[in-house]
């Protein structure tokens, strides 16, 4: 729909001179749930194109991104299709029941503002909003559901519509009204799970947290009931992962009790559902919302509560050695919110209000991430967990691009760079026959010592190089590998960093004999251990020049490893190959294959425009000289 029509639609909502809402609702809040079910979604003029591959992992599924929409906004397969095309990859089908169930009467959605005159959880409901940044709404649908015959077919259709790297979660719940005992209520949950299984949905979510139901209380605050529901659902769904969607707990002790009860039966926790608020419907003169009083508040207002919940879940999971994945939900309306959730420990993030009011939110996150991948300096400012989640999804080519930026960044003072070009010649520390002098110097100690991000990045980069170039075979990767320190000044530190950061995937480093280590000063003393002959070993060094250093190191490696049969062999890997043409003779004389990320030529070409004419002259002179 074009902008002018959408403005017309909202005109009657303007109130006391407030502006027309600028949000791009895909759900028409002025119309009924059934109308939106039949005709929505709206306001999606185009579908953006992404270039993605399923490189992230959520539960045991490979997904394109860790972002999606929780139960609620995706009313049926048409909505699922639209949001899948918009680039949301973890999509939850709105909660279904064992029978058809009508929606509450209108209004279903109102903007809300905290009632400043009262120090409690009361809100003023408004049919407009003034600030998009604090977008908060209340929704009171009453969890409407179609008959199982309808939703089962529709879920199957949704599954067919998804793209590669997208995951569908089906949200289910039991219906309390009309039933007389808790047992019957639990039975209704189980019946719903059985119906859900018939659709072949790959993941099932149990909604334990809808606040605005006729039955009153929120299920997740009844810990014993939740334990029974989750246990019995797990009995019928078997290996299909189960997510428990919970509400906000203001007492950690209560959350611990719940987790202990449900942990054996679930694979993930989705937190949080809407926060209960007392809606004082002062400005929308409709009786029903006022009658409900307590209603679910979502959007920007609940973000601090939801973030805090994720932080606590992350802490408790660790403390009690539990294994569930965490889905962070609540107030994600911009890419930075998504990042905040990953930073506090979420394994995936979903947005309801944000995705309904800005359908391009997923694309904005994608764009920001791709920009960050291209700009290492920006990525570094984001934070540990976000940065490592970015680097985990990188291909070797993307690593290469970032590495090229990292070693000669525009923002660092020249002497902090890895790549240094000077008029005075540097004495090459090692490797070059006859120890020639050079105008070009690569000092990887700078990133290793100066900046923790760079160190972490280099470790990930080496790991990726080793896994992609050497250990292509899955069995080999599982077998892990060992890293050997080379007695140059930076690589023992690199090895130490790899031991620190990748302890689960690599073996111990080995100390080179004293005569090599003393050639250069460095903190090598902590690198020690035996070489396990059952795994491949990799010599890592930063720069390959003539291969002399590597050759000297290989001499010290036990024969069982040096001459082990393919594929359990010894390999060598370097970041830069200064003289790639010497690589072949190196392999011939040592029997060790050498892999490098880039050649010095590539590095110089990449940064060529930034060199002064004097530097260019020096480089050209030297490269032909040294060749
Ligand atoms: C319109 C709407 C409908 C919702 N329906 C459901 C639902 O059926 N089941 C459920 O578990 N949560 C439901 N929710 C709650 C959301 O999944 C989510 O937990 C909550 O809105 C907080 O996220 P947000 O701040 O991004 O909106 C609904 C939320 C909205 C806005």
pLDDT, tens only, 504-540:
556 655 545 445 555 544 433 334 456 677 788 888 8
298 belongs to the catalytic site: no
Pocket test for ligand 1, best of 68, 71, 244 (most atoms within 8 A of CB): 71
CATH code of 170's domain: 3.20.20.70
State whether 363 and 431 are in the same domain. Answer: no
State whether 440 and 356 are in the same domain. Answer: no
Between the CA of residue 571 and those of 446, 471, 493, what are the distances in Å? 26, 10, 19
pLDDT band at 15 (very low <50, low <70, confident <90, very high): very low
Answer yes or no: is pLDDT of 377 > 80. no
State whether 286 and 421 are in the same domain. Answer: no
- Residue 29's pLDDT is what? 83
* Domain count along the chain: 2
Q: Is pLDDT larger for residue 168 or for residue 451?
A: 168
Pocket test for ligand 1, best of 208, 212, 273 (most atoms within 8 A of CB): 273
Q: Is pLDDT larger for residue 165 or for residue 391?
A: 165
Q: Indicate whether 18 belongs to any domain.
A: no
State whether 335 and 430 are in the same domain. Answer: no
Q: Is pLDDT larger for residue 523 or for residue 495?
A: 495
Dig out the tokens for 194 from the structure. 């059985």
- Residue 125's pLDDT is what? 65
The values of phi and psi at residue 31, to 5°, are -115, 170
Q: Is pLDDT larger for residue 245 or for residue 431?
A: 245
Across residues 317-334, what is the average pLDDT?
95
- How far, in Å, from the CA of 351 to the mean position of ligand 1? 8
- Residue 596's pLDDT is what? 94
CATH code of 622's domain: 3.40.50.2020
Q: Single out the catalytic residue among 210, 220, 230, 298.
A: 210
- Residue 247's pLDDT is what? 93
State whether 472 and 371 are in the same domain. Answer: no
Most confident of 52-66, 362-376, 389-403: 52-66
* Binding pocket residue ranges, ligand 1, CB within 6 Å: 70-73, 94-95, 139, 141, 143, 171, 207, 210, 245, 273-274, 298-299, 302, 329-332, 351-354
Nearest residue (by CA) to ligand 1, atom 13, is 72
- Residue 95's pLDDT is what? 97
pLDDT band at 217 (very low <50, low <70, confident <90, very high): low
Instruction: List the helix and strand counts (H, then E) for the chain.
Output: 25, 21
Closest to 18 in 3D by CA, of 110, 129, 109: 129
Dig out the tokens for 322 from the structure. 């539990």
Q: Indicate whether 77 belongs to any domain.
A: yes
Answer yes or no: is pLDDT of 219 > 80. yes
State whether 438 and 347 are in the same domain. Answer: no
Measured from the Cβ of residue 556, the count of other Cβ atoms closer than 10 Å reads: 15
**Burial category of 580 from C-beta neighbours within 10 Å (exposed 0-12, middle 13-18, buried 19 and up):** middle
Given the CA of residue 331, which atom of ligand 1 is nearest to it? 25
State whether 212 and 343 are in the same domain. Answer: yes
Given the CA of residue 350, which atom of ligand 1 is nearest to it? 26
- Residue 529's pLDDT is what? 52
Pocket test for ligand 1, best of 37, 41, 72 (most atoms within 8 A of CB): 72
Domain residues for the domain of 532 are: 396-626
pLDDT band at 6 (very low <50, low <70, confident <90, very high): very low
pLDDT band at 10 (very low <50, low <70, confident <90, very high): very low
State whether 495 and 592 are in the same domain. Answer: yes
Answer yes or no: is pLDDT of 333 > 60. yes
State whether 473 and 565 are in the same domain. Answer: yes
Q: Is pLDDT larger for residue 622 or for residue 525?
A: 622
- Residue 325's pLDDT is what? 97
pLDDT 10s digits, 568-589: 788 999 999 988 888 899 999 9
- Distance, CA of 332 to CA of 607 (rounded, Å): 38
- How far, in Å, from the CA of 143 to the mean position of ligand 1? 10
State whether 318 and 418 are in the same domain. Answer: no
Q: Indicate whether 424 belongs to any domain.
A: yes
Domain boundary among 349, 371, 392: 392
Q: Indicate whether 419 belongs to any domain.
A: yes
Answer yes or no: is pLDDT of 384 > 80. no
Domain boundary among 392, 413, 445: 392
- Residue 429's pLDDT is what? 62
Q: Indicate whether 2 belongs to any domain.
A: no
The residue whose two tokens read 């977008």 is 135
State whether 476 and 333 are in the same domain. Answer: no
State whether 469 and 346 are in the same domain. Answer: no
The conformational region for residue 431 under phi > 0 = left, psi -120 to 50 = alpha, else beta, is left
Q: Indicate whether 11 belongs to any domain.
A: no
Answer yes or no: is pLDDT of 373 > 90. no
Least confident of 103-107, 184-188, 200-204: 103-107
Q: Indicate whether 12 belongs to any domain.
A: no
Answer yes or no: is pLDDT of 369 > 80. yes
Mean pLDDT of the chain: 81
- Residue 391's pLDDT is what? 58
Across residues 599-627, what is the average pLDDT?
88
Domain boundary among 392, 426, 445: 392
CA–CA–CA angle 422, 425, 429 (5° rounding):
110
Answer yes or no: is pLDDT of 547 > 70. yes
* 134, 298 contact by CB (below 8 A): no
Q: Indicate whether 21 belongs to any domain.
A: no
Across residues 229-236, what is the average pLDDT?
97
Per DSSP bridges, beta strands 294-299 and 325-329 are unpaired
């Amino acid at each position: 729909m074009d902008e002018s029509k959408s403005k017309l639609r909202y005109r009657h909502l303007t109130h006391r001179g407030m502006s027309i809402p600028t949000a791009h609702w895909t759900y028409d809040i002025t119309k009924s749930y059934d109308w939106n079910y039949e005709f929505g979604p709206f306001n999606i003029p185009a579908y953006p194109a992404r270039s993605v591959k399923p490189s992230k992992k959520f539960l045991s599924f490979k997904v394109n991104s860790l972002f999606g929409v929780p139960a609620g906004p995706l009313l049926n397969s048409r909505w699922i299709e639209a949001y899948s095309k918009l680039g949301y990859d973890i999509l939850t089908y709105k909660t279904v029941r064992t029978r058809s169930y009508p929606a509450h009467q209108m209004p279903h959605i109102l903007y809300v503002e905290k009632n400043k005159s009262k120090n409690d959880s009361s809100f003023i409901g408004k049919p407009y909003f003034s600030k998009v940044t604090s977008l908060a709404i209340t929704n009171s649908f009453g969890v409407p559901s179609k008959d199982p015959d309808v939703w089962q077919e529709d879920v199957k259709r949704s599954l067919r519509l998804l793209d590669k790297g997208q995951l569908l979660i089906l949200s289910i719940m039991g219906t309390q009204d009309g039933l007389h005992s808790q047992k019957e209520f639990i039975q209704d949950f189980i019946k719903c799970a059985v119906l859900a299984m018939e659709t072949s949905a790959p993941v099932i979510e149990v909604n334990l947290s809808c606040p605005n139901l006729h039955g009153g209380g929120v299920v997740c605050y009844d810990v014993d009931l939740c334990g029974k529901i989750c246990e019995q659902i797990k009995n019928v769904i078997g290996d299909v992962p189960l997510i428990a969607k919970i509400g906000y707990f203001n007492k950690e002790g209560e959350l611990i009790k719940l987790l202990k009860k449900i942990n054996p039966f679930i694979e993930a926790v989705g937190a949080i559902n809407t926060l209960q608020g007392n809606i004082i419907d002062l400005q929308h003169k409709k009786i029903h919302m006022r009658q409900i009083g307590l209603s679910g508040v979502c959007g920007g207002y609940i973000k601090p509560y939801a973030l805090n919940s994720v932080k606590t879940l992350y802490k408790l999971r660790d403390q009690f050695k539990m294994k569930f994945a965490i889905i962070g939900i609540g107030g994600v309306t911009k890419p930075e919110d998504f990042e905040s959730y990953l930073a506090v420990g979420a394994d995936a993030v979903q947005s309801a209000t944000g995705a309904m009011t800005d359908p391009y939110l997923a694309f904005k996150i994608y764009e920001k991430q791709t920009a960050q991948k291209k700009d290492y300096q920006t990525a570094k400012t984001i934070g540990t967990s976000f940065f490592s989640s970015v680097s985990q999804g990188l291909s070797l080519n993307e690593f290469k691009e970032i590495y090229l930026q990292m070693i000669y960044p525009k923002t660092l003072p020249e002497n902090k760079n890895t790549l240094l070009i000077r008029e005075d010649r540097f004495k090459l520390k090692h490797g070059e026959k006859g120890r020639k002098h050079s105008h070009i110097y690569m000092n990887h100690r700078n990133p290793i010592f100066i900046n923790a991000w760079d160190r972490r990045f280099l470790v990930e980069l080496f790991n990726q190089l080793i896994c992609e170039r050497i250990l292509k075979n899955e069995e080999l990767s599982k077998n892990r590998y060992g890293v050997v320190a080379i007695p140059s000044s930076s690589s023992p530190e690199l090895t130490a960093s790899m031991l620190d950061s990748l302890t689960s995937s690599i073996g111990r480093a080995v100390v080179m004999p004293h005569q090599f280590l003393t050639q250069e000063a460095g903190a090598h003393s902590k690198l020690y251990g035996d070489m396990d002959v059952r795994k491949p070993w990799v010599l890592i060094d930063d720069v390959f020049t003539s291969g002399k250093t590597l050759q000297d190191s290989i001499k010290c490696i036990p024969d069982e490893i040096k001459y082990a049969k393919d594929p359990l062999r010894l390999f060598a890997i370097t970041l830069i190959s200064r003289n790639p043409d010497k690589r072949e003779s190196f392999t011939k004389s040592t029997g060790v294959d050498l892999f490098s990320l880039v050649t010095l030529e590539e590095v110089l070409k990449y940064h060529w425009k930034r060199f002064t004419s004097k530097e260019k002259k020096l480089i050209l002179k030297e490269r032909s000289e040294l060749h």
